[in-house]
Amino acid sequence: MENAGIICSRTCRYLERNAPVIKASVIYLLTAAVTAGAPIVLLPFLTRILTPEEYGKLAMFSATVQLFGIATGLSTHGAVAMKYFDRDIIDFPRFVSSCLILLLASTALTLLATWIILEPLERLTRLPGTWLFIAVIFSASCFIVQVQLSIWQSSKSAAKFGALRAFQGTVELSSSVVLVFMLGLSWQGRVAGIVLGGLAASACALVSLFRGRWLRLPRDTSYMRNALRFGLPLLPHATGGMLIMFSDRLLITSLLNVSLTGIYLVASQLGMVLYLANDALNRAYSPLLIETLKHNDLHRDRNVVRLTYVYFAVLIFVALLFAAVVPTLLATLVGQKFQAAGSIFIFIAVGQAFSGMYLMVATYIFYAERTAYLAILTIIAGTLNLVITYWMISLHGLIGAAEGFLTTQILFFFGAWALAQRCRPMPWFSAIAFDATSYAKAATTGLAMFAYASIFIAPNKWVLSTKTTTVKQSESHYLVAASFAGNLELITKLLIEGADVDSSNEEGVTALIAASSSSHRAAVELLLSYGANPLLRTKEGYSAYDFAKNQSNGELANLLISRDGLR
């Protein structure tokens, strides 16, 4: 009882001490839920109305907006968040107005540049020219919203922050419903809904900035130059970030086809739930972290480090849990046309976890105002992402794009963590009584095990390749893919149309092996009823029984053994 009382007392003190952060986190999380609500709520309906190709156009519009967002505003909205803490020594309203003037000038130049290179942009994005100009205007409206949100975040006005984001999400959702489902405007209606939500939110943000007296015409260009000194070094950072987040979609469209881009977008949108949660927690915590760092107190730094490690562990756990649950719900969430998204979701989910970990350590770099170094790191990561993703797609098709995303996020996080330690040293080891020698031994053992696995275990033993050799696949390839996804309706249709039940892909994977590897018992039974041969093996020598045993599916393995005996 005494121990329970002590624990209860300490818990109460902890909650009381961190009440502002907890309250803000809840508000930001609810806001993120509303913000993500539009695409998530619409997802089950849009995936049944739109084709994968049309859904791919949504992905390309989002990527295009991010591309234009680098130029519109020149990343100076980040300076607003930082300069808020110096408002006692600068004329902050004039600084905000200076950033908006830069937005106006840069948007005009971006529109001109878009007009000059319109045809190449249309070929690259597969979007009509009109929507490219709309994307420029929309990216400018997003900048205005970010300026107001940055002020509210820095002033810890979480409720106002949440109200504006909720308003934007509501307008976006309602507009999309009317335009897509009532007026039948297909993908154009969904994009128009997104744009209307952004324009409405930017109008509200401008009114709020004016009423809050955050706007005052600058007397000279000094604040503009100051904002550019902050923003221009971030342009490479923004460019690298765009390459990390959206180059995979451009490569899928170029190397494979826009339909697979649509499938990839579905997996990415589901993964955005994790990103938005990470972003919400970071928005709530970063102002407190900045205030803590200013004290330069070792005891406080150690507490921050311990909390950060707990946060990292929770992120990984939640991502793995999410990755295990979501694929089982895909049939209900997105329908049969987008079932292939389940095969790549685990890479997206874990990648988003590392993205959230990056957000945590990046705050140290922004605090130290070493954004130029972060820009260099991001450009390196973005370039590596292009190379890695291109290579992975060439090897594994759509799955390769997701593998490239995960690999880049891991490298980017560890690079940012190392840079953060140089910018603002923290007791990452001593805070948890870290034994560097033990860590080195464990790391050496781990590398040895990895090397052994790489050399002596076939790299594709249990993973089915989805590499696309041609845009139009044969019936046998469709049958293997449908069996891997457990799509009984498509399997039956292909078999009725004359597809060979024992045909295989380039690696010798038959439909029965594919269904066994993904533990789809109903698909296995259906294929066996059509005479599928369970004795066939892949080019590496593995049968359907081997894959079933690898999945620890004893019932499925016994079913295949019984059929082996009958043959």
Average pLDDT score over residue span 93-113 = 92
Q: Which residue has the higher pLDDT, 149 or 447?
A: 149
Q: What is the Cα–Cα distance from 349 to 464, expressed in whole angstroms?
A: 20
Instruction: Report residue 500: phi and psi, to 5°.
Output: -75, 120
How many beta carbons lie within 10 A of that of residue 1, not counting itself? 5
Question: What pLDDT band is residue 102 in, cutting at 50, 70 and 90?
Answer: very high
pLDDT-derived band at 33, boundaries 50, 70, 90: low
**Other Cβ atoms within 10 Å of 462 Cβ, number:** 13
Nearest to 376 by CA among 239, 237, 241: 237
Q: Residue 144: CA atoms inside 13 Å, Cβ hemisphere, count?
A: 25
- pLDDT for 25 equals 60
HEC string of 12-66 equals: HHHHHHCHHHHHHHHHHHHHHHHHHHHHHHHHHHHHHHCCHHHHHHHHHHHHHHH
Give tens-digit pLDDT for 61-78: 888 898 898 888 888 887
Q: In whole angstroms, what is the distance from residue 162 CA to residue 112 CA?
A: 35
pLDDT in tens, 333-352: 777 777 778 888 899 999 99
Average pLDDT of every residue of the chain: 79
pLDDT at 104: 93
Contacts of 372 (CB under 8 A, 6+ apart): 233
Instruction: Provide, rounded to the nearest whole percent, the portion of the chain with pLDDT above 90.
Output: 15
Distance CA 422, CA 365 (A): 9
Please give the full DSSP string across 89-112, using - where no structure is assigned: TS-HHHHHHHHHHHHHHHHHHHHH
| Residue carrying the six token digits 């923004």 | 238
Measured CA angle at 232 (ends 113, 118), to 5 deg: 15
* C-beta separation of 202 from 339 below 8 A: no
456 vs 154, residue with greater confidence: 154
Domain positions in the chain are: 20-221, 233-275+295-301+309-433, 435-567
Nearest to 389 by CA among 402, 370, 372, 375: 402
Residue 190: phi, psi to the nearest 5?
A: -65, -45
pLDDT at position 326 is 82
Model pLDDT for residues 536-567, shown as the tens digit of each residue: 888 777 788 877 766 556 777 778 777 553 33
**Tens digit of pLDDT for each residue in 143-197?**
999 999 988 888 777 788 888 988 988 898 889 889 988 888 888 998 999 999 9
Q: Which residues pair with 397 in a beta bridge?
A: 466
Q: Cβ atoms within 10 A of the Cβ of 450, count?
A: 10
Q: Which candidate, 495, 59, 470, 97, places its Cα nearest to that of 263?
A: 59
* Calpha distance 185→339 (Å, rounded): 24
Question: Which residue type does 307 have?
Answer: L
Q: What is the mean pLDDT of residues 33-54?
A: 72
* Contact criterion met (CB below 8 Å) for 391 and 384: no
pLDDT attached to residue 265:
80
pTM over 0.85: no
- What does the alpha-carbon distance between residue 504 and residue 174 come to, in Å, rounded to a whole number? 46
Q: What is the gyration radius of the CA atoms in the chain, in angstroms?
A: 26
Query: What is the residue type of 493?
Result: K
**464 vs 342: CA distance, rounded Å:** 13
Residue 441, pLDDT above cutoff 80? no
Q: What share of the chain is helix, strand, coil (3-state, %, to 5)?
A: 80, 0, 20
Angle at 60 between CA 321 and CA 80, to 5 degrees: 80
Angle formed by the axes of helices 129-154 and 158-176, nearest 10°: 160
Return the CATH number of the domain spanning residue range 435-567: 1.25.40.20
Q: Round to whole Å and give the CA distance between 380 and 247.
A: 14
